[in-house]
Amino acid sequence: MAITAATQTSNFSGFLTPERSAAIFERAARMSVIQRLARQVPLGANGQEIPVVTGRMSAGWVSEAGQKPASSGSMALKTITPKKLAAIAVVSAEVVRANPGNYMNLLREQIAEAFAIAFDNATAHDAGPDGTAGAGPFSTFLDQTTKAVELGSTAQASGGVHGDLVAALTLLVNDGKKLTGWALDDRVEPTILGAVDSTGRPLYVDLPTDETSQAVARPGRLLNRPSFMGEGLYFNTTADIYGYAGDWTQAAWGVVGGISYDVSTEATVTINGALTSLWENNLVAIRAEAEYGWLVNDTASFVKLTENVA
Question: What pLDDT, on a 0 to 100 scale, did the predictor assign at position 3?
Answer: 43
Of the ranges 80-89, 102-111, 251-260, which one carries the lowest mean pLDDT score? 102-111
Question: What pLDDT, on a 0 to 100 scale, did the predictor assign at position 140?
Answer: 95
Do the domain assignments include residue 165?
Answer: yes
Of the ranges 72-86, 92-106, 217-231, which one carries the lowest mean pLDDT score? 92-106
Percent of the chain with pLDDT over 90: 32
pLDDT digits (tens, 9 = 90+) for 109-157: 888 888 888 999 999 999 998 888 899 999 999 999 999 999 988 887 7
Residue 164 · residue 154 · CB < 8 Å: yes
Exposure pattern of 149-183 as b/e (b: 16+ CB <10 Å)? bbbeebeeeebbbbbbbbbbbebbeeeebebbbbb
Question: What pLDDT, on a 0 to 100 scale, did the predictor assign at position 308?
Answer: 60
Question: What pLDDT, on a 0 to 100 scale, did the predictor assign at position 107?
Answer: 81
Is 50 exceeded by the pLDDT of residue 310? no
Do the domain assignments include residue 179?
Answer: yes
Do the domain assignments include residue 17?
Answer: no
Question: What pLDDT, on a 0 to 100 scale, did the predictor assign at position 280?
Answer: 92
- Distance, in Å, from the CA atom of 123 to the CA atom of 35, rounded to the nearest integer, reads 10
Question: What pLDDT, on a 0 to 100 scale, did the predictor assign at position 210?
Answer: 47
pLDDT digits (tens, 9 = 90+) for 223-278: 889 999 888 788 987 679 999 999 999 999 998 888 888 889 999 999 888 999 99
Give 17's pLDDT tier (boundaries 50, 70, 90). Answer: low
If one compares 11 and 94, the residue with the highest pLDDT of the two is 94
In the three-class reduction of DSSP (H, G, I as helix; E, B as strand; rest coil), residue 228 is classed as strand
Give 196's pLDDT tier (boundaries 50, 70, 90). Answer: confident
Q: How many domains are contained in the chain?
A: 1
For the entire predicted model, the pTM comes to 0.80
Question: What pLDDT, on a 0 to 100 scale, did the predictor assign at position 207?
Answer: 62
**How many C-alpha atoms does 6 have within 13 Å on its Cβ side?**
2
Do the domain assignments include residue 194?
Answer: yes
Is 50 exceeded by the pLDDT of residue 7? no
Phi, psi of 279 (to 5 degrees): -65, -45
pLDDT digits (tens, 9 = 90+) for 41-59: 888 888 888 777 777 778 8
Do the domain assignments include residue 26?
Answer: no
CB count, 10 Å around CB of 109? 15
Do the domain assignments include residue 213?
Answer: yes
Is 50 exceeded by the pLDDT of residue 167? yes
Do the domain assignments include residue 19?
Answer: no
Do the domain assignments include residue 4?
Answer: no
When the pLDDT of each residue in the chain is averaged and rounded to a whole number, the result is: 82
Domain hosting residue 222, numbered range: 33-51+74-308
267 DSSP 8-state letter: S
Residue 242 · residue 185 · CB < 8 Å: yes
